[in-house]
């Protein structure tokens, strides 16, 4: 005798028809919440995806701006380094070279700090814009949930 579902006798893998009826009765007695308006649900998810896409675009544009500015800074640093080496080579005597070198180091340090602050500001601005989009959408989504929960 074979075990498993048999299509001719009306039995199923879960037992006979009476057992299937009991299973259906069990679920019919459960108090499940009504399904939300599917159209509203789909529209809300579409807005969520649009918001995340926009936030991602803002973040990518910010990363590209940081990369571009970083490249500009590197090119500027290389040009200034060449000029500094020429100025240092032109200085006469060890004391004059030491004074010139100290001036150059101070200027280089100040530029490096200013450049880091500029890059930090670019990153912070990009992150703030992206997060603002997500925060706004989250607040809207919570309002939508409240509205859907309030519907009979």
Per-residue pLDDT of the chain (152 residues; tens, 9 = 90+): 444 444 444 444 445 666 666 766 666 666 545 555 778 888 888 999 999 999 999 999 999 999 999 999 999 999 999 998 898 888 888 898 899 899 999 999 999 999 999 999 999 999 999 999 999 999 999 998 888 777 76
d(CA 17, CA 117): 74
- pLDDT computed for residue 36 by the predictor: 59
How far is the CA of 65 from the CAs of 87, 98, 127, in angstroms? 33, 38, 12
pLDDT, position 110: 96
pTM equals 0.64
Instruction: Report how many helices (DSSP H) and strands (DSSP E) the chain contains, helices first.
Output: 3, 0
d(CA 140, CA 38): 17
Q: How many residues does the chain have?
A: 152
Give the pLDDT of residue 20.
Answer: 65
What does the pLDDT read at residue 57?
Answer: 96
């Amino acid at each position: 005798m074979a075990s498993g579902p048999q299509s001719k006798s009306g039995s199923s893998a879960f037992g006979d028809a009476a057992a299937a009826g009991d299973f259906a009765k069990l679920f019919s007695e459960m108090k499940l919440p009504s399904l939300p308006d599917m159209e509203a649900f789909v529209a809300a998810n579409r807005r969520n995806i649009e918001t995340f896409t926009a936030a991602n675009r803002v973040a990518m544009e910010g990363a590209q701006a940081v990369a571009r500015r970083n490249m500009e800074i590197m090119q500027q640093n290389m040009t200034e380094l060449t000029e500094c080496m020429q100025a240092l080579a032109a200085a006469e005597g060890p004391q004059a070279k030491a004074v010139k070198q100290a001036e150059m180091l101070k200027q280089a340090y100040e530029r490096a700090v200013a450049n880091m602050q500029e890059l930090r500001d670019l990153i912070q601005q990009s992150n703030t814009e992206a997060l603002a989009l997500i925060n706004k959408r989250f607040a809207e989504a919570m309002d939508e949930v409240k509205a859907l929960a309030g519907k009979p």
